[in-house]
Amino acid sequence: MSRLKIGVLGSGSGSNMQSIVDEIEAGRLDAEVRVVLADVPDAKILDRAKRHGIPCQYLDCAPWKTKLEGPAEDRCIEILRDAGVDTVVLAGFMRIVKPGLLAAFPNRVLNIHPALLPAFPGVHSWTQALDYGCKVAGVTVHFVDGGTDTGPIIVQKAVPVLEDDTPETLHARIQVEEHKAFPEALALLAAGRLSVEGRRVRIDPAGTV
């Protein structure tokens, strides 16, 4: 068991970060959010962090539009290390992270993806699932490896696709499960119950790993 020291990277509303903070504040997750970084200056995730007294700042990732690389990656690692972070949470961070960050926090970078991976990696996964005609959609929390949405899976939750769903209604249903899945995965990590064997994440039922 070890209290997680989390650094959150996000780009948008921050509802997943909120769900993690809520679990911590309710005493159900042995963790603290040390710092929140956003690559969008006015991202709502920064307002949420401020409301909870969590240090936060804008991370300028120029000149890259879709990845975290070069000086911005170096700066990101420096901020996370200075904050004493041991676990990096990608909570709606709309950039591909590169080997530098992964090497700085080996096996400690987690992402949430709004689909049942390996189906529908990339963006707007819920729309992809709807257009494909899926009857079930969902969410995946996984460790991040060098690929896009390819790392070992920790938690998945499924939701039904309903006849009258729009992309918005389906995404909203998925988000309800996201807000359970991320805290659940982090609680398993905090309890020392996760071990990675190749692609498979083993969850120790007794919490003795």
Write down the least CB distance from residue 93 to ligand GRF, Å: 7
Q: Which is nearer to ligand GRF, 13 or 148 (CB)?
A: 13
Active-site residue, 113 included? yes
Q: Which is nearer to ligand GRF, 16 or 69 (CB)?
A: 16
Q: Which two tokens stand for residue 57?
A: 């700042």
Write down the least CB distance from residue 115 to ligand GRF, Å: 8
- Of the candidate residues 13, 127, 150, 156, the single one contacting ligand GRF (CB under 6 A): 13
- Name the one range near ligand GRF by CB under 6 A: 7-15, 58-66, 80-88, 96-104: 7-15
Q: Which is nearer to ligand GRF, 92 or 151 (CB)?
A: 92
- Of the candidate residues 112, 134, 188, 189, the single one contacting ligand GRF (CB under 6 A): 112
- Of the candidate residues 12, 100, 152, 167, the single one contacting ligand GRF (CB under 6 A): 12
